[in-house]
Amino acid sequence: MESVVYNEFSFTDYDEYNCDLVQQSIRLQSIYRNFPKMNYRYIVCTDQSKIVGVMPFIHYTSKLSDIIHSMPFIGYGGPTVITNHIEVFNNLISTLEEYAILNNISLITICTSPFDEFVESYKNILNPDFTKENFYQFIELDSHYLEQMKSKQRNNLKRNLRIANQNNIILKESYNHKDLKFWYENVYVPRLVETNGAIYPIEVFETFRKEFGGKRVIINYAIENEKIIGAGFFIKQKKSLDNFMRVISTDKLYTQAGVLLDKWSIDFALENNFKYYNWQSADAIDSSIYNYKASWGSKTNKHYYLTKKVGDISKLLNVPLSTIKEEYKNVYVLPFEVFEKGK
């Protein structure tokens, strides 16, 4: 068994159809091509010429210190392993650490995925120096979600769906670049600017559309009077349907188009025998977004940012947090409280 780090790796049927997470697919490498500091790498583990595991990561270059993160912009990273999980993960991590030492990298971070039964074993193998917990919300689909909702919330859902119907909101799947560009520029960016949210580059959504649109990524638009007022990106993982992004124009929130999109996607997950519907995380527990997701009968669990120190990080720790945020935009480094406080 051996693992090799590739700068480029040809597409394979394995990669497209068997990665546990879409985020682990080599097909997403084009997201990062316009970001000079982000160098996409792909580890492939083989046993007797058969692929048994893969793991993508970003080698982020910086004047302060190079770091590794799996994966920026798209959330979860880490390995997809077909068999012999512990042995293969051991091999992947050993190769990752060798790469880090050879390239003078100081930190390795893996963002673990939800519903991963091997996460504790992975912690033991990586042996992280820093662990940051993050919550996510999900609906278990072993029973109908309406049965998990309280009567008040079911009534609220009925009312909101009635409002969407009264506003003549329709849903339309589309994998057209023009539709995506309109939504991104006229709905997504203005809404995220208003809410002070992290704005993903259009390359994220465009790559999902081009590489997985209509297959493992569903793009559904909310339409009012033939105009796009919102959209949802839903990812088909092995165990869950993930609500990767769902954004409605601020001036159209009253139409309840967002509720209509959410209900459609949860019904889709239920009808297609997904085990979970993954809302992913919200800004904070007990926030309005958190409570909205909870109203669907959602539960909460944790995933982790596991960070291992493989080089000298003293230069990182002796600069203000504001410098870290500027130098490492869009990339997780360490828990904020570790850094020297500064404006």
Give the model's pLDDT for residue 93.
96
- For the cut 70, the answer to whether the pLDDT of residue 17 exceeds it is no
Q: Does domain 2-127+312-338 have CATH number 2.160.20?
A: no
What interhelical angle do 85-102 and 119-126 show, nearest 10?
A: 40
For residues 56 and 9, is the Cβ–Cβ distance under 8 A? no
pLDDT at 283: 77
Output the pLDDT for position 80: 87
At residue 333, the 3 state secondary structure works out as coil
Band the pLDDT of 115: cuts 50, 70, 90: very high
Q: Please state, for a pLDDT cut of 70, what percent of the chain lies above it.
A: 96
In this prediction, residue 15 carries a pLDDT of 52
User: One fold for both 2-127+312-338 and 137-301?
Assistant: yes
Q: For the chain, what is the mean pLDDT?
A: 93
pLDDT of residue 9: 61
Say which DSSP state 187 is in.
Answer: I
The answer to whether the beta carbons of residues 100 and 140 sit under 8 Å apart is no
As its CATH architecture, domain 137-301 has: 3-Layer(aba) Sandwich (3.40)
Cβ–Cβ under 8 Å, residues 230 and 246: yes
| Domain ranges (residues) in the chain | 2-127+312-338, 137-301
Confidence band, pLDDT 50/70/90 cuts, at residue 11 = low
Residue with more model confidence, 211 or 282: 211
pLDDT at 278: 98
pLDDT band at 342 (very low <50, low <70, confident <90, very high): very low
* φ, ψ of residue 312 in degrees (nearest 5): -75, 125
Contact 62, 323 (CB under 8 A): no
CB 237 within 8 A of CB 184: no
pLDDT band at 334 (very low <50, low <70, confident <90, very high): very high
Provide the pLDDT for residue 104. 97
Q: Give the rounded percent of residues in the chain with a pLDDT score beyond 90.
A: 83
Q: What is the pLDDT of residues 58-75, one digit of tens each?
A: 999 999 999 999 999 998
Q: Is the pTM of this model over 0.85?
A: yes
Segment 273-282 mean pLDDT: 95
Q: What is the pLDDT of residues 126-164, one digit of tens each?
A: 999 999 999 999 999 999 999 999 999 999 999 999 999
52 burial (CB, 10 Å; 0-12 / 13-18 / 19+) is buried
CA of 72: how far to CAs of 23, 68, 200, 244, 298, in Å?
10, 10, 10, 14, 26
- Going from the C-alpha of 205 to that of each of 40, 171, 219, 241, 244, the distances in angstroms are 17, 18, 10, 17, 10
